[in-house]
Chain A
Amino acid sequence: MRFADTLRFARDAAAGYPLRTTLSVLAMSIGVAAVVVLTALGDGARRYVVGQFSSLGANLVIVLPGRSGTGGFNPANAITTTPRDLTVDDAAAVRRAPAVGRVGPLAVGTSEIAFGGRLREVIVAGTNHDYFAIRGLELAQGTPLPDEDWNRASPVIVIGAKVREEVFGAAPAIGQLVRVGDRRLRVIGVMKSTGQGLGMNTDEIVIVPVALAQAMFNSNTLFRILIEAKSREAIPDAKAQALEIVKQRHRGEEDVTVITQDAVLATFDRLLGALTMGVAGIAAISLAVAGILVMNVMLVAVTQRTAEIGLLKALGASGGAIRLAFLAEAAMLSAVGALVGYLLGQAGAFALRQVFPVFPAYAPDWAVIAALTTALGTGLLFGVMPARRAARLDPVQALMKH
């Protein structure tokens, strides 16, 4: 029997029993669609979290005041005093470390911003020019803080998008003088709206030079020092060097904590990756079930068509030709099922993306390929047994069954 004829014969056979064919195709397609949609969800969650972390800045190392000691009571700690504050000079010293690229000192407080009779409370972040690059902050208008000596308190301010909207309304903001606390500052930039995220929401903050902020809050401590390592590979070095420098400056006291965003990110990445795999595994079970269903359907087909198989043998069909015809039918059922399921799954993922636009629900390629091959594989695998049974039928017995 020619290959094209075998395929056509199998297709006609499948089309000859529409209900049976539809049901098995449906089972297979639900299995594939489940894999596609569930992995799209899992991988979407992973991508969402990774994306949020990345928006905090690349290759980020953060120095926090105070140690993260969990070692319980230590007599040495009791004798030595409370941790020293982080200062702008600490940040400047860290900048000289070889693995460190940019450094952004960060002092934080709350104050009021007033313009033209309107007043609102804002979070004031005192920092420097490099902070914008480290955090990847984008400006809608104007310029970031000037690149100048960190100890210079230039009377300038960059405001968040929501602050601009509420204080200035439709009026232009750039170049205007606003009052923050008891200072008069010139607006030099407006940040782009970023919306809600895992990081600090920059829509409702204002940014001023770090020296100005410390003067306003009458303090010389820093909330954080943000460090950008020179490269991804330099992150561990940057962490070690920053810790060493601050420790030396604090008379050998390790009274700061240095965390890397990379470590947190990698943990989340692994966690959510495993979640996706687990979800895919659960969905794969439905594929196996669909495969067994295809086997059932094909076994029923062999029983239903016993007389036909006997006839085909009488007409000169070899066992091999019959085996191939039934195998082709099983493969066809699962191939069509896989294709329909793929389209259904992609449609489902698309619908998810429409409903939750921030959620990147794309099924990963590996999952789609695995789902399709598993569908075809199980279909063929479970098609072998019925096909062999059909080929082995005794033609005399088969013909008598009518």
Chain B
Amino acid sequence: MPLIELAGIARHFQLGDTTVKALAGLDLRIDAGEYVAVMGPSGSGKSTLLNLLGLLDRPNEGTYRLAGTDVTTLSAEEQARVRSERIGFVFQSFHLVPRLTAAENIALPMTLAGIPAKERATRVAAALAGFGLENRAGHRPDQLSGGQRQRVAIARATIMRPALILADEPTGNLDRHTGEEVMHLLEDLNRQGVTLVVVTHDQTLGARAHRQLLMEDGRIERDSADLAYG
């Protein structure tokens, strides 16, 4: 069953007099539980694609169906609901709130969704244990190492149990070893059934995914799924 269906997606930006086409005529289908790497040179449109998939941006043309429902026509508030319930983000620079502790950062999506404090506490405790952060619950981001920060970010991305995790260069700010650890965590989540989309320009990282999309000039130049099937 397809989780994501993009049909005829186009996204262009106005830069002065010129129109920059970030995405043009893009069709894509990602099934539930897939592990997809989006690769390509910078400016190829992979970040724009990720923002569209995460409902942070709207296409100028085309439709985006998420789990069967058309989400392009939803209002901003409805899109916020969808993001809250179905999508988790992992960013290259972690994007933790500096004044909040690790536990509070992890709880943030639940706080925003209005989940009662009691339930938040139990779920955060479970997440801290699951990501090996029990001793770091009360630490602020600046008291954590890079790997720990990204683990907090992943815990936060998964705390609402989303069907889709979007990771934008998740190892970009980490050394090789901790990057490896973080990828293991993400791949574990994928094995549990979460659909994982990773944007990267690291070839070796992309090669770990089950499916690779190579983007160029706002189009999908190569899809490893097409090669496999035919």
Asked if B112 and A396 sit within 8 Å, CB to CB, the answer is no
Q: What is the CA–CA distance of A308 and B105 in the complex, to the nearest angstrom?
A: 12
Provide the residues of chain A in CB contact with B51, threshold 8 Å. 396
Q: Is A316 an interface residue (CB 8 A)?
A: yes
Asked if B114 and A399 sit within 8 Å, CB to CB, the answer is no
Q: With A315-B83, A316-B160, A317-B80 given, name 16 new contacts (CB 8 A).
A: A1-B113, A15-B99, A308-B97, A313-B56, A314-B83, A315-B108, A315-B112, A316-B87, A316-B109, A316-B113, A318-B77, A318-B80, A319-B77, A396-B56, A396-B57, A399-B95
Provide the residues of chain A in CB contact with B113, threshold 8 Å. 1, 316
Q: Indicate whether A315 sits within 8 Å of B56 (C-beta atoms), given known contacts A9-B111, A396-B51, A402-B93.
A: no
Q: What is the CA–CA distance of A317 and B57 in the complex, to the nearest angstrom?
A: 15
Q: Is B35 an interface residue (CB 8 A)?
A: no
Provide the residues of chain A in CB contact with B85, threshold 8 Å. 316
Pick from B56, B114, B116: contact of A314, CB under 8 Å: B56
Provide the residues of chain A in CB contact with B59, threshold 8 Å. none
Q: Which one of B54, B57, B97, B98 has the highest number of Cβ atoms from chain A below 10 Å of its Cβ?
A: B97
Asked if B109 and A315 sit within 8 Å, CB to CB, the answer is yes
Q: What is the CA–CA distance of A316 and B110 in the complex, to the nearest angstrom?
A: 9
Q: Which one of A313, A319, A320 has the highest number of Cβ atoms from chain B below 10 Å of its Cβ?
A: A313
Asked if A399 and B156 sit within 8 Å, CB to CB, the answer is no
Asked if A320 and B54 sit within 8 Å, CB to CB, the answer is no
Q: Is B89 an interface residue (CB 8 A)?
A: yes
Q: Interface of B with A (CB < 8 Å)? A: 51, 54, 56-57, 76-77, 80-81, 83-85, 87, 89, 91, 93, 95, 97-100, 108-109, 111-114, 116-117, 156, 160
Provide the residues of chain B in CB contact with A13, threshold 8 Å. 99
Main SS at interface, chain A:
helix
Q: What is the CA–CA distance of A9 and B114 in the complex, to the nearest angstrom?
A: 13
Provide the residues of chain A in CB contact with B116, threshold 8 Å. 2
**B173 to A: closest C-beta gap in Å:** 11
Q: Can you list 13 A-B pairs, Cβ within 8 angstroms, ordered by A?
A: A2-B114, A2-B116, A12-B99, A12-B100, A308-B97, A311-B95, A313-B56, A315-B84, A315-B89, A315-B109, A315-B112, A399-B56, A402-B93
Provide the residues of chain B in CB contact with A319, threshold 8 Å. 76-77, 80
**A51 to B: closest C-beta gap in Å:** 54
Asked if B111 and A307 sit within 8 Å, CB to CB, the answer is no
Number of residues on chain A facing chain B (CB within 8 A):
25
Asked if B111 and A5 sit within 8 Å, CB to CB, the answer is yes
Q: Is A370 an interface residue (CB 8 A)?
A: no
Pick from A2, A16, A308, A315: contact of B156, CB under 8 Å: A315
**B22 to A: closest C-beta gap in Å:** 11
Q: Is A321 an interface residue (CB 8 A)?
A: yes
Q: Which one of B56, B80, B117 has the highest number of Cβ atoms from chain A below 10 Å of its Cβ?
A: B80
In the complex, chain A residues 2-19 whose Cβ is within 8 Å of any chain B Cβ: 2, 5, 9, 12-13, 15-16
Provide the residues of chain B in CB contact with A402, threshold 8 Å. 93, 95
Asked if B80 and A313 sit within 8 Å, CB to CB, the answer is yes
Q: Indicate whether A316 sits within 8 Å of B81 (C-beta atoms), given known contacts A2-B114, A5-B111, A321-B112.
A: yes
In the complex, chain A residues 216-248 whose Cβ is within 8 Å of any chain B Cβ: none
Asked if A316 and B56 sit within 8 Å, CB to CB, the answer is no
Asked if B112 and A312 sit within 8 Å, CB to CB, the answer is yes
Map CB proximity to B onto A1-44 as digits: 1 under 8 Å, 0 otherwise: 11001000100110110000000000000000000000000000
Q: What is the CA–CA distance of A395 and B54 in the complex, to the nearest angstrom?
A: 11
